[in-house]
Structure 1
């Protein structure tokens, strides 16, 4: 009998054991989050400052739902990065299913946003879980990325709870490998939303 596992209950150890997933130690594996990043314009900075202001206003009356985080934080970022324009397309929640080679277990879940022919996956954590490290949600994002049928191109992910952000890169091929960016936050006096947008813009340029 096939055992069904929910994606949110999967950890790094399970993915390493069942799918052979490995953490890439070479810094050159994931340079897209820090090399040749495009500049952010003054107008874009003003937009991001408003995004930060609106978010901080909302967190005064918790909890924030996933939908609110998507609306207030993620949607403006994706718009500024150009992901709502051609040649990209946006899809909302998508069901995924993935199994190991022996197919004795199946992992199921729903991804929050799926962008660009399954090359960018976005995972939003409910703000009530903001006290948890984003690292606890990254295995869930990796499950969705592993389910990507396209093995020829790298897949990127972004995990956020609205205030913190981590980018993920996965290359499947023979041995699936992944790497993480630094963690960014808008809670610092000098908001790191600028860097987050710059990385998203860089990914949009690479994918187009």
Structure 2
């Protein structure tokens, strides 16, 4: 009998055991989040400063829901990074199922925002309530990324609770391997939203 497991209840140990997922230790595996990043314009910085102000005003009246995080933080970032333009397409609340070969357990879940290009999954974004730790979202996002039908190209992800951001990369040739970026935050006096947008712009350029 098939057992269904919700993606939000999956941990890294489960993904390692069932799918052979491994952490890539070498820096060269995931250089897209720090190497040769595009510059951010003064106008883009002004837009990002407004995003920070709007977020900080909203968190004064918690709780801040996932939908609000998407509207106030993610949507402006995706727009500035060019993911609303050709050749990308945005889909929200995409259902996924994934199971290992010959396994009777199936992981189910819904991707918050999926950016695709010609049916290739490029960017998975899992937004969480502002009080949630990003560590709780990483296994869930990786489970979604494992459901990407493409085997020859990497999948990139972003997990955020609105104030903090972590990028992910998953490659599935031979054995699935992943890596994570440093954690960025907009709560510092010098907001790291600039770096977040720079990484997103880099991914849009690479993947388009």
TM range (shorter): over 0.9
Q: Which residue of 2 aligns with 1:119?
A: 122
> Where in structure 1 are there 5+ consecutive unaligned residues?
none
The structure 1 segments of at least 4 consecutive aligned residues displaced by more than 4 Å after TM superposition are none
CA drift at 1:133: 2.5
Q: Does structure 1 retain, via aligned residues, the 8 Å contact 2:133–2:161?
A: no
Number of aligned residue pairs: 205
Q: Distance between the aligned counterparts of 2:27 and 2:135, measured in 1?
A: 19
- Pairwise CA distance, 1:196: 0.1
**C-alpha distance in structure 1 between counterparts of 2:46 and 2:179, whole Å:** 31
Indicate if the aligned counterparts of 2:170 and 2:176 stay in contact, CA closer than 8 A. yes
Q: Which runs of 5+ in 2 are unaligned?
A: none
**Within 1, Cα distance between the matches of 2:68 and 2:137?**
18
What aligned pairs does 1:17-166 form with structure 2 within 5 A after superposition? 17-116=17-116, 117-127=120-130, 130=131, 132-166=132-166
Aligned to 1:4: 4
Distance 2:6 2:97 in 1: 10
C-alpha root-mean-square deviation of aligned residues, in Å? 0.7
TM-score w.r.t. length of structure 1: 0.97
The Cα of 1:38 is off from its aligned counterpart by 0.2
- Report the TM-score, using the length of structure 2 for normalisation: 0.97
